[in-house]
Amino acid sequence: MQVFKLCMQIIRKNIPVMLIYVILTAVVTALMVSDIDKEYQKEISFTPAKRSIAFISEDNSLLIDGFREALGQIVNFVELDETQLQDALYFREVTYIVRVPAGFTEEFMKGADVKIDKSTVPNSVSNTYIDLFINQYFNTARLYIKNIDGISQELLVQYLKEDLSKTSNAEVKSTTGKKVTYPTYSNNYFNFFAYTLISVIILGMSMLMIVFNDRNLKMRNSCAPVIPGSINLQFILANLFFTFASWAILVVMSFIFNYKNSLNAYTVYFIISSFIYSFCCASISFLIGNLIKSQNAVYAVCNTIGLGSSFISGVFVPQELLSGSILKIASFTPAYWYVKANNAIAKLTQFDYRHLQPIFSDLMIVAGFGLAFFAVALAIGKRKNYIEN
Amino acid sequence: MIVKVRNLVKRYGNLVALDHLSLSVKEGEIFGLLGPNGSGKTTAINCILSLLKYDKGEIEIFNQPMSPDAYNIKRDIGIVMQNVAVYNELTVYGNIDYFCGLYITDKRKRRELVKEAIDFAGLGEYTHFYPKKLSSGLLRRLNIACGIAHKPKLIILDEPTVAVDPQSRNKILEGIMKLNEQGATVIYTSHYMEEVEQICSMITILDKGRAIVTGTKEQLKDMITMGEKITVETFGLSDTQLSAIKGLPNVISVDYKDNLLVIKSSKGRNNLENILDVVKKEDIRFGKIYSELPTLNDVFLEITGKELRD
């Protein structure tokens, strides 16, 4: 396995250059993760906002005091006198005015159908929440009064306080009944993956190809008692190993940065998609390696192809924001189909064949690109050998 | 016979690179292929090694027909290319180990052989250096070490001293002779006649793809009419004085240019003495006067009418 080992040493020598791309990915991913985390928290968490209300009570009782105290948990009270109330409501200093009429407690304790007066800002959603709370408080109180004869206000307030302090967890469910997950991170990561992977593979493989296509070294190797097929096989194995290792490292990186958001079915499809794309990258690199003769040219081509295809294919800028003509041009690059497949994966709600079929079609196009590049590279390699002989 | 080449013809389109070339290299020889640039030395070597397809002819190495898949023959051949062919990504040790590893799979044996090759090439201080850090002389030595580390029976060196300083060149030539003393047969190509003259026991002079003469250096020199070249550093020679020199016995040609008088004579015992007599008699003032035996360049010049370095 001399040739295989040699390939590994050549790749190892070029690791510092390749690391630049990996570090860039790591930085972008770290920024992406922190940004997505914030967005994600915003999306999934509920933090009650306290509205400002005015509380006017014409009835003094333990029940009303208890009610005010409980209401104070979800609103801020603004102290206003009678003359300021309408202005405060108009200028949105308060959005809700609660008025407890005189004799309310006495009638309520008797089981009468008495109501609390309210004045609100029209069409305010937050007021519904206050309405719900008030209803909940007095409906619960009514239940106690109805079922416990002669219950005192003090005991009633105590029971209500206990009952209302209890909370329960809510889980957001999708329409299909499955737990909702957010593949935004994986989608963004695996889209950016296209740029990193193609850059790293072009660098690594082209360097290998340049070294192995060196005429003098080729001749020297040909003088050795080694079957050319064995040299070629070891060379192909090394390239495949390098491609696989690059892909695997980048996949592992996606888990390291945000494993919580990566442990889902979407990630499996993203991994499959990136795996197919990685072999397409290998074919492109194989072709480039056959065409290029100097190491400096590799850097130039790597940047041109890596950045160029990424910009027009939606790796950096979402495809939705790119113009139709750019996307038409981009459709001649495998990166476009890869990103398209990834975006489709991110939008999946069900993982059945009907939903997956368009994704597989896109990935087949990526694989087709890979085969086409490989065939062209083989043809060029054969022609070069023919000319050399 | 270690190498036998019969009627080898190689054409590049209309250009005949090798024109019915025949060679025989015996065991233990340092066989020199001498010729100017473009005479077909490298093409001949590439054909011998089956790196190039040829149009006609037969090549046998170790009495077996040579072909690209003659791995048992290749196992005993060491090749040092004209251009340095080493991996810039490997250290000096790594390069020798890699090329040796293509021939020797046993790691322990290989380690010993690599060490020996490093010592032989005098690269002990540079084992961890990358080729880009080496001078051209050291690089050439590394190139040689890579070719001979597996201790081949036949070593082919294609112009190994091109662009090398005199000190490194001497080391390389000494090394080749040492390898030969250790039992290796060597084929050495060069366009430097001094090198070939210095180390080769058998020489073939190539021109335009043809072997024009083959023999030991003595045999080659015997083939030409010139036996001695006498040079006189003088100025202001008259036609009479020149005529007197031209009239001397054995004189083949007289050339007077830039205050240097070069007299070529056929073999004769008193050539220098006769010239000194004329110098004295004609009262020719001179700075230096010296006699040289013919070189391979003179052989080449007499046979082809042009200098080796043309």
Asked if A221 and B102 come within 8 Å (Cβ–Cβ), the reply is: yes
Q: Does A45 touch chain B (CB under 8 A)?
A: no
The whole-number pLDDT of residue B112 equals 94
State the amino acid at position B108 in one-letter form.
R
Instruction: Kindly state the percentage of chain A with pLDDT values over 90.
Output: 34
- Rounded CA gap, B266 and B298, in Å? 12
Find, in chain B, the residue whose alpha carbon is nearest to that of A208. B89
Domains of chain A: 2-42+182-388 (no CATH), 51-165 (3.40.1710.10)
A387 interaction partners in chain B (CB closer than 8 Å) = none
* B75 alpha carbon, distance to own chain's centre: 24
Main-chain phi, psi angles of B230, to 5 degrees: -110, 130
What are the residues whose beta carbons fall under 8 Å from the beta carbon of A75, sequence distance 6 or more? A50, A51, A52, A53, A96, A130
As a whole number of angstroms, the distance between CA B62 and CA B26 comes to 10
Instruction: Evaluate if residue A255 carries a pLDDT over 80.
Output: yes
Query: Any chain B CB within 8 A of the CB of A383?
Result: no
- Hunting for tokens 């329409």 — which residue is that? A175
Preferred mutation among A223, A227, A230 to probe B, highest tally of B CBs within 10 A: A223
Q: Residues of chain B whose C-beta is under 8 A from some C-beta in A?
A: 46, 49, 51-53, 68-69, 71-72, 74-75, 77, 79, 81, 83-90, 94, 98-99, 101-103, 146-147
pLDDT of residue B8: 93
State the count of interchain CB pairs (< 8 A) between A and B: 60
Of B51, B77, B86, the CB nearest to A219: B51
* Amino acid of residue A213: N
Best of B54, B87, B91, B187 to mutate (most A CBs within 10 Å, chain A): B87
User: Which pLDDT value is given to residue A293?
Assistant: 83
Listed by number, the residues of chain A in 9-38 with a beta carbon closer than 8 Å to a beta carbon of chain B are 9-10, 13-14
Backbone angles phi, psi at B241, to 5 degrees: -60, -45
> Hey, are the CB atoms on B99 and A222 less than 8 Å from each other?
no
Q: Does A220 touch chain B (CB under 8 A)?
A: yes
Q: Cβ B85–A214 below 8 Å, yes or no?
A: yes
Model confidence at A181, in pLDDT bands (50, 70, 90)?
low
Q: Do B77 and A219 touch (CB under 8 A)?
A: no
Looking at per-residue confidence, does A92 or A32 come out higher? A92
- Per-residue pLDDT, B156: 94
A180 has a pLDDT exceeding 60: no
Q: Do A10 and B79 touch (CB under 8 A)?
A: no
* Tens-digit pLDDT profile for residues B236-295: 888 888 888 889 888 988 999 888 999 999 888 888 888 899 888 888 888 889 998 888
Element (H, E) at A65: helix A62-71
Question: B40: which 2 tokens?
Answer: 């077909």
Please give the average per-residue pLDDT across A108-115, as a whole number: 86
Q: What is the pLDDT of residue B110?
A: 93
Local structure of A263: helix, strand or coil? coil
Question: B90 to chain A: which residues are within 8 Å by CB?
Answer: 6, 9
pLDDT digits (tens, 9 = 90+) for A219-231: 899 899 988 888 8
- pLDDT classification of A349: cutoffs 50, 70, 90: confident
Helix axes A15-44, A2-13, angle to 10 degrees: 70
Does A13 sit within 8 Å of B85, measured CB to CB? Answer: no
Report the relative pairing of strands A51-57 and A75-77 from DSSP bridges.
parallel
The secondary element (H helix, E strand) that includes residue B7 is strand B3-12
Lookup: tokens for B254: 């007289």
Q: pLDDT at position B233, please?
A: 92
pLDDT at B114: 95
**What mean pLDDT comes out for the span A216-244?**
90
B85:A211 CB<8 A: no
0.85 surpassed by complex ipTM: no
Hey, are the CB atoms on B101 and A2 less than 8 Å from each other?
yes
Q: With contact defined as beta carbons under 8 Å apart, do A205 and A285 qualify?
A: yes
Instruction: Write out the H or E segment, with its range, that includes residue A8.
Output: helix A2-13
Report chain A's C-alpha Rg in angstroms: 34
Cβ neighbours of A223 in B, within 8 Å: 49, 51, 74, 77, 79
Single-letter amino acid, residue A162: E
Q: What is the mean pLDDT of residues A261-278?
A: 88
pLDDT tens across B117-129, in order? 999 888 999 999 9
Examine the pLDDT at A71 and tell me if it is beyond 70.
yes
* Regions of chain B with pLDDT less than 70: 307-310
Residue A37: the pLDDT is 64
Instruction: Kindly list the structural domains of chain B, giving each domain's residue range(s) and its CATH number in brackets, ordered by start.
Output: 3-221 (3.40.50.300), 225-293 (3.30.70.100)
Average pLDDT value for chain A? 86
